[in-house]
Amino acid sequence: MVTGRDDSHHHIGGPTEKCGVVGVALGGRDAARPLYYSLYALQHRGQESAGIVTHDGFQQHSHVQMGLVGDAFGADDLDGLKGEAGIGHVRYPTAGDVSKSCAQPFAVSFKSGSLGLAHNGNLVNADELRDELENFGHAFTSTGDTEVIAHDLARNLLEEDLVRAVKRTMERIHGSYALTIMHDETVLGVRDPEGNRPLCIGKVDDGYVLASESAAIDTLDGELVRDVKPGELVVLDPDGSGFDSYQLVERDNTAHCFFEHIYFARPDSVMNDTLVYEVRRGLGRKLWEENGVDTDVVMPVPDSGRAFASGYAEAAQEDDATVEFAEGLMKNRYVGRTFIMPTQDERERAVRLKLNPIKSTVEGKSVTLIDDSIVRGTTSNQLVQLLYDAGATEVHMRIGAPPIVAPCYMGINMATREELIASDKSVEEVRDTIDADSLGYLSIDSVAEVLEKSRADLCLGCVTGEYPYDIDGEETDRDVSRPVVGAEAPLSD
Catalytic residue of the set 12, 19, 215, 236: 19
Nearest approach, Cβ of residue 489 and ligand SF4 (Å) = 27
Q: Which is nearer to ligand SF4, 388 or 469 (CB)?
A: 469
Q: Which is nearer to ligand SF4, 196 or 304 (CB)?
A: 196
Q: Binding site annotation covers 268?
A: no
The number of C-alpha atoms within 13 Å of 486 and in the hemisphere containing its C-beta is: 10
Contacts of 59 (CB under 8 A, 6+ apart): 114
Q: Which is nearer to ligand SF4, 164 or 455 (CB)?
A: 455
Task: Report whether the peptide linkage leading into residue 303 is cis, meaning its omega lies within 30 degrees of zero.
Answer: yes
Q: Quick check: 281 and 219 in contact, CB under 8 A?
A: no
Interface with ligand SF4, residue 210, by CB under 6 A = no
Q: Which of 442, 461, 477, 485 is close enough to bind ligand SF4 by CB under 6 A?
A: 461
Q: Which is nearer to ligand SF4, 180 or 254 (CB)?
A: 254
Q: Binding site annotation covers 102?
A: no
Would you give the end-to-end CA distance of the chain in angstroms? 41
Q: Which is nearer to ligand SF4, 14 or 240 (CB)?
A: 14
181 φ/ψ angles, rounded to the nearest 5 degrees: -130, 140
Q: Binding site annotation covers 200?
A: no
Q: Quick check: 280 and 314 in contact, CB under 8 A?
A: no
Q: Quick check: 217 and 226 in contact, CB under 8 A?
A: no
Q: Which of 177, 259, 325, 469 is close enough to bind ligand SF4 by CB under 6 A?
A: 259
Interface with ligand SF4, residue 121, by CB under 6 A = no
With CA atoms as reference, report the closest residue to 368 among 394, 401, 388, 350: 394
Interface with ligand SF4, residue 459, by CB under 6 A = yes
Q: Which of 72, 257, 265, 271 is close enough to bind ligand SF4 by CB under 6 A?
A: 257
Annotated catalytic residue 102:
no
166 φ/ψ angles, rounded to the nearest 5 degrees: -65, -45
Secondary-structure breakdown of the chain: helix, strand, coil percentages, each rounded to the nearest 5: 30, 25, 45
With CA atoms as reference, report the closest residue to 185 among 333, 71, 68, 85: 85
Stretch that binds ligand SF4, among 104-112, 320-328, 453-461, 485-493 (CB under 6 A): 453-461
User: Where along the sequence are the contacts to ligand SF4 (CB under 6 A)?
Assistant: 196, 257-259, 408, 410, 412, 459-462
Binding site feature residues for Mg(2+)? 304, 371-372
Binding site feature residues for [4Fe-4S] cluster? 257, 408, 459, 462
Q: Which residues are catalytic?
A: 19
